[in-house]
Structure formats: C-alpha cells, structure tokens
Structure 1
Amino acid sequence: MNGLWQQHPLRDIAARVEAGQRLTEAEALRLFQTRDVHLLSALASGVRERLNGRRASYIVNRYINYSNYCILSCQFCAFARKKRNGDGFELTVEEIVAKAREALGLGITELHIVGGLHPSLPYRYYLDMLRALKALDARLHLKCFTAIEVLHLATLSKKPMEKVLEELKEAGLDSLTGGGAEIFRPSVREAIARGKEPAEDYLHVHRTWHRMGGRSTCTMLYGHVETLEDRVDHLRQLRALQDETGGFCGFIPLPYQPENNAIPVSHAPSGFDTLRTMAVSRLYLDNIPHLTAYWVGLGLKLAQLALSYGADDLHGTIVEEHIFRMAGAKTPQLQTELAMVKAIREAGLVPVQRDTFYQPLKVWDGPAPRVIAPASGAAAILQNNLATA
C-alpha cells in the first residue's frame, strides 16, 4: 500500500482498492462520509488509469428533445409541460430530420433523443422518427429513449415491453439512454418523482435490452432529499445488474438542479459533493468501465476537475440541451470539440474523440489528431468528414 496512507483511518479501504478488490456497501458509505478529498482523488485516479490509461474522452453528438409534454408531474422536473401550458413544444418527424441533417454537417456521430411521456403522439410516430433518421444516414448512431419512455410506448401500443424494444431496434434504435434512474429507493422516488416507474421496472427494461444484445448507459440523480445510504443502495443495484448482463458501457452521475422545481433543498450539490460522488462511484462500480463528468450539469471547469476524481469522459458537444437548462443550469447550449480537447489536456490527460460505446475514433496525442477506425458507423462518418473537409 502507498505509504502515504499507512496511518489513515481509511487505510484498509485504500489497501483493498490498490489490490483491485471489490468494495462493500459499508466501505462505499465510509468513503462517502470522509472529508479527505485528496485520498478520494488519489484512489479514484488510480482506478481510472488502471481501467482507461491516461486518456479521457468526449463525443461529437447532438441532443434532440422531440417534446416536453408529459403525463407525469415529477416534483424535481422543470422540463415537463402540460398541453394547457403556453411554453410546451413538440417536433414533427420532418423537423427532427432537419435538425439531424444540420448536425451531420457539423460532424456528429450520435443523436441523443429523449422527451416527455407525450399524452397523444401515436406509437407509429416513434417508429417513423427512427426510420427517417436512419434513411438520412444509416451510419448515424441513434441513442434514444429512457426506460420510462419505453414503458410508456408499451402502454401506448398495448404490446409487451420486449416486443416494443424489438420493434424500436428494427426501426433503427442503436442504444438506450440511462435517464430516469433518479434514486432507486422507493421512499425517495415517492418524494421526488411520484408516479414514475419503480426501480425494478427501470432495471428490467435495461436488463431486457442487454439480453437482446443492446447496450446502454446508467445514471443517478444526487443532491436533493436522498441520504448517502440511498446513494450507495442505488449504486449497489446498478452494479448487480452489470454483474448479470455486462450491458452498461458508462455511468453518469447527475447533480440535482434546485432552481425552477418543486423540491426545496437546503444545500444544492456543491463542488465537494460532486467530486466525492465521482470518486466513490469510480471506486465502487468496478464493473462499469467508464465514468462521465456531465459538463452540462457541472460546468466545464468542475467537469475538468472531476477528471482527477475518477472520471474519464466529459460527454459530448450536445449542440442543444433543454432539460438541465430549464431546471436552471447556466451552462452553454454546446461545447466545441476544441474546448473539450483543451480541458482534457489541461487536466494532464490525452483527449480522445469516442463513439457511443466509448471506442476511440480520434486521439490527440501529438500536434495533430490521429484517426483510429474501429468497426463502427461513427468511424465511417468521421472518415467521410475528413475526406470532404
């Protein structure tokens, strides 16, 4: 064990981490309770380097929210609107395709598409949207829908959830988003998202998708009414499903945005809380290979610092984000690729443009980026953009 920690109260946990041993829930809670961010940084950075070397990634992507009309009224959500509200919106398939066409010209390799649980859009709208986007460019990766949206489509279509996933996949769905996890503990879900599906349903959708050969990300919304024990319980359930399926390619902790919603909190997520949550997530989730510092919720400067607390990814260029901004986030609508590269280099790591599954496409390990070509549609889009530049 590193001699620096020989006398530390958490030296037993430090020894287990350095030996590559799995942490227990009690040990994760002890890590959450420590004020020693230097220990957390050192341990989590060691695990990050063991898993991913000295690289940190980003993706060139675009967000599209097809609608913010929603039948639910989650207390924490500032995005959802009812039909009676004057600031709701819904996009036609043609409008979505136009946004995607414009984004392809900017070099994106992924579309990230989610929305509210729309009260009246027909099931065929979602299938038509996927087919139209694949017709635009079959290589474009479509990362769409949360688990709760999939369950909503099952209710809408009066079909089993498994059948809905099959039909979405056939229409062009490439991967599921991880949104909607919030906190799994039932009492917390009742307090912040009454009416949303329970944890078992969220996990069942992802389990089913993974067994179909699909992959997804997973999330946790922290910093509201949950306890540290609730966070550990949430991470435990994600780790257990990953043990079972291996289908999660990355974990994204999401800081609660306290403005513009119905949940009063005494202390919104601080920089300290964000960094310890990143570090403990990296140390405990030993079977999920990548940890994303979501710059939209953190701001790019804190996300950059999170690269020293176990994170190995800054997420994407995004172009247009509504959900966090409507909740009160003051971050920009987009980040340029060069801003991502600069932030990663300043953190002492090698920037890498990745695809949706965190496979490298372009490595900035010299004066000019070096292109790598894995067997993915994203690589084909990148090569085509370079050839026509």
Structure 2
Amino acid sequence: MNTVDRILDKAVRGERLNLEEGVRLFESDEIEKLGHTADILMRRIHPEPITTFVIGRNINYTNFCDTYCRFCAFYRPPGSSEGYVLSDETIFQKIQETVDVRGTEILMQGGTNPDLPFSYYTDLLRAIKQRFPDITMHSFSPAEIRKMQEVSGLSLEEVVRELHEAGLDSLPGGGAEILDDRIRKKISRLKGTWRDWMDVMQAAHKQGMNTSATMVIGFGETMEERALHMMRIRDAQDECIQNKYNSKGFTAFIPFTFQPDNTNFVRERETPEAYLKTVAVGRILLDNVPNLQSSWVTMGPEIGKLSLSYGCNDFGSTMMEENVVSSAGAVYKVNIESIIGLIREAGKTPAQRNTRYDILKVYEEGSVVDRDFVMQN
C-alpha cells in the first residue's frame, strides 16, 4: 500500500487527516482515487441520492472599490465614470423578480465602497425585510464588512450585530481566495490578512449566523498553502462547534479556479483536473463542514456535473444575475430546468433547498414533490 492509499484508507476509517497528509493528497496525481474516497465520505454525510440547489440571485449593488485586487475585472475606483451604486428601487425590483420564480436567497455583494456610510447597509436591509420578510439575505463579504467597520468607527462585533439585527441572515465566503498571507499580499494587498477574513466569519458565528467558505486556486500558491487553507477553515469550524454557538458555522465549502480574463493578474487557467482534485481533497479534509458546493459558474456545467462524484452534494445557486466572476471570463449560465437536468444526468435526484440547507422541494422524475422533512446537517 503506497502513501496515498494509506492516507485515503485512514480517511475512510473516519480518522482525521493532518496538514502533511493533506499536502500529500494535493501532490498526488491519482485524481480518480481521491474522487472515489471523497464520494464515499460524501455519501456517509448525505446517504440519500439527492443533490441540492438554491434558487437565488446575485445583486452587485456597487462596483466602486478601493481594494484594487489585481485579479478583479469587476471593480471601478472611487470617482470613476464607470462606477455605480444601484438605487433601492432597482434592488427591490431585482428581489421581486427572484421571489416571482420562488427564489429564496439574495447574495448581495459589491466593492468596498468608501463613500457609503454604515447606515446605507442597515437602512437597506431593514427596507428589504419590510418588503420581503421571507427572503434570506446571504450577503456582504468579510472585506465589505471590514470597510463598514472602517467608515463607522464601530468594533467588528458591533458592525456584525447591527447588520444581523437589521436583517442580514448569513455571510457568504467571498474574498477568502487563499487563506495565506504570502498569497494575499501578492494578489490583494489591501484586502487584509487571512486572519482579518476569518475574524469576520467567527464574529458572525458568535452572533448565531451561518456562513460559507470559499477557496480560489490558481494564484501560484503551493500545495501546502492549499492544504493550510482548508485546515484553517476546519479549525474555525471546530471552535464554533466546541463553543456551542447558536450557529452551524460554515454550512458549505465552495472551491473554484481563478478566472484571469480582463484582469491585471496574468496566469494560465487551472485545469479541470486541478479543480476536481481540490473538491475531492476538500471533502476528505473538511470532516466537520457538511456541504460541498459545485462551481459550475467557473468550470462549466459538465465539470460541475462530474464534481458530484468527487465529493460535492450541492449544485449551488441558479445565479439569476452575476457580474463579478463573469467580468473575468466565466460565462456559464444555467437556468433551473438545466440544473435539474444536469443533476439527473449525474444519477442524482435534484432538490431545491434554502440557505440553511433545509430541503424545500424534491424533483422526482416526472413530478415535483414537496417534502416536509429537514435535511439534518
């Protein structure tokens, strides 16, 4: 039995892997073997042959940003004639369109706009919740929340608490990139350290909010830095569980590849194989994060479908609108019917979920069946 086989056998036995073992998996070229192990572990967590998705919309409320990430094709510097801030009425209209197709989630994100006061966010959240009390606001990245802290002069805990009280339900994992300061200084020096990102997430967990975690490969990071990224997420999830916060912590892990088109950071795209390996290693290492989400937006529907046999149990959002990743060359658009078809082609049963991963509808072959159970994650 070679080293990789021994590590995978350890994982199948339910034993936790360490950083060195994670690095060895990333260095391996036995991708199908990693995928097989990840699929076994996924089925233990999710024994029903169900793949979930959420009907949601991205609303990029502003593209003004003073973080100037080298890899971003979406932002415009403050004062740019190409910058914008959406009106409240435009945002309300976009949410109404989401509700009209039985959508449940709004992922509202923008740049770190220094000209928006903190009251802009709290007032907007209250207005949204007044009009759409049932919509889930899964919004604002840690970088945006750090900017709110800066302009408000409040503590991080105060900012997170006031956002939550105003109507923010959970935090998306945007801006994680690679949770290592060597890479962060290279690609987004002004975005802060990996600890800055994690502190926001942990402040949210302490407030009883769920969050998700992302990872972007392809910035020139080492295999150790990739494995370390996952370990840091796992450690924070352990802390959430051990302290018994009224939160599920990180409900999902979403890895994807850097999209270099139209950016100031020129690199070759990562291969589909590198993406699938990252998905598989994520499922193997992150034993305390219940869901792995496919990234069909960046990888395309076919690779997204294949990822369902590499440890993913979720197909993400219908993404009714998305401007950040698409600005960098990811152009894949999939509607609800296509998602259902792709999931079925992968041999799974599609199911609509909400942000908390409660199942709302199961799409049996030829019919739609309401389920009154909650997936226990």
TM-score, normalised relative to structure 1:
0.91
C-alpha deviation, 1:208, in angstroms: 1.1
Q: Distance in 2 between matches of 1:351 and 1:248?
A: 22
2:261 alignment partner in structure 1: 259
Aligned equivalents of 1:49 and 1:298: distance in 2? 23
Give the aligned partner of residue 139 of structure 1: 134
Partner of residue 43 from structure 2, selected from 49, 60, 79: 49
Q: Map 1:73-152 to 2 at 5 A.
A: 73-152=68-147
* Mapping 1:1-389, distance limit 5 Å: 7-53=1-47, 54-246=49-241, 247-265=249-267, 267-332=268-333, 335-373=334-372
Q: Is the 8 A contact 1:219 1:252 kept in 2?
A: yes
CA distance in 1, matches of 2:271, 2:84: 32
SS at match of 2:138: strand
Pairwise CA distance, 1:209: 0.9
Alpha-carbon shift at residue 8 of structure 1 (Å): 4.7
Question: For the Cα contact (< 8 Å) 1:354–1:362, is it kept in 2?
Answer: yes
Give how far 1:88 is off. Answer: 2.0
By how many angstroms is 1:147 displaced?
0.9
Distance across 1 between alignment mates of 2:213 and 2:225: 16
Once residues 80 and 256 of structure 2 are traced to their aligned partners in structure 1, the CA distance between those partners, rounded to angstroms, is: 27
Give the drift of 1:151. 1.2
Moved more, 58-67 or 87-96: 87-96
Gaps of 5+ in 2: 242-248
Unaligned ranges ≥5, structure 1: 1-6, 377-389
Residue 365 of structure 1 and its aligned partner are, at CA, apart by 3.3
Q: Which moved more, 1:82-91 or 1:164-173?
A: 82-91
Alpha-carbon displacement from aligned partner over 1:243-289 (angstroms, at most 9, x marks no partner)? 00141100011210011111122x31101101101000110001000
CA distance in 2, matches of 1:344, 1:336: 12
CA contact (8 A) 1:110 1:142 kept: yes
Count of equivalent residues: 367
8 A contact 2:176–2:215 mirrored in 1: yes
CA displacement at 1:118 relative to structure 2: 0.7
- Mapped to 1, the partners of 2:297 and 2:16 lie a distance apart of 31
Task: Please report how far the alpha carbon of residue 373 of structure 1 lies from its aligned counterpart in structure 2 after TM superposition.
Answer: 3.6
Letter matched to residue 362 of structure 2: V
Structure 1 residue 352 displacement after superposition: 1.3
Letter in 2 for 1:341: I
**Residues in 2 aligned to 1:85 and 1:374: alpha-carbon distance in whole angstroms:** 50
Q: What SS is found at the alignment partner of 2:170?
A: coil
Q: CA contact under 8 A between 1:93 and 1:125: conserved in structure 2?
A: no
In the alignment, the residues of structure 1 paired with residue 262 and residue 365 of structure 2 have an alpha-carbon distance, to the nearest angstrom, of 44
Do the aligned residues in 1 keep the contact of 2:66 with 2:78 (CA within 8 Å)?
A: no
1:15 positional shift: 1.5
After superposing on structure 2, the runs of 4+ consecutive aligned residues of structure 1 that deviate more than 3 Å are: 83-86, 373-376
Question: Residue by residue, what CA displacement relative to the aligned partner does 1:34-84 show, whole Å, maximum 9, x if unpaired?
Answer: 111220111011011111122211101111010010011111111110134
Displacement of 1:149 after TM fit? 0.9
Give, as a single letter, the amino acid of the residue that structure 2 aligns with 1:219: T
| TM-score after normalising by structure 2 | 0.94
Assess if the C-alpha contact under 8 Å between 1:93 and 1:128 holds in 2: no
Give the letter aligned to residue 46 of structure 2: N
CA RMSD of aligned residues (A): 1.5
How far did residue 366 of structure 1 move?
A: 4.2
| Superposed CA offset, 1:105-154 (max 9, x none) | 11101111011011212221111211111111211111110111111111
Residue 298 to residue 64, structure 1, CA distance change in 2 (3 Å): same
In structure 2, how many angstroms separate the alpha carbons of the residues matched to 1:8 and 1:348?
32
Q: Which moved more, 1:234-243 or 1:117-126?
A: 117-126
Q: Secondary structure at the match of 2:190?
A: coil
Alignment partners' CA distance in 1, 2:164 and 2:315 = 27
| Contact in 2 for aligned 1:295/1:303 (Cα 8 Å) | yes
One-letter code aligned to 1:254: F
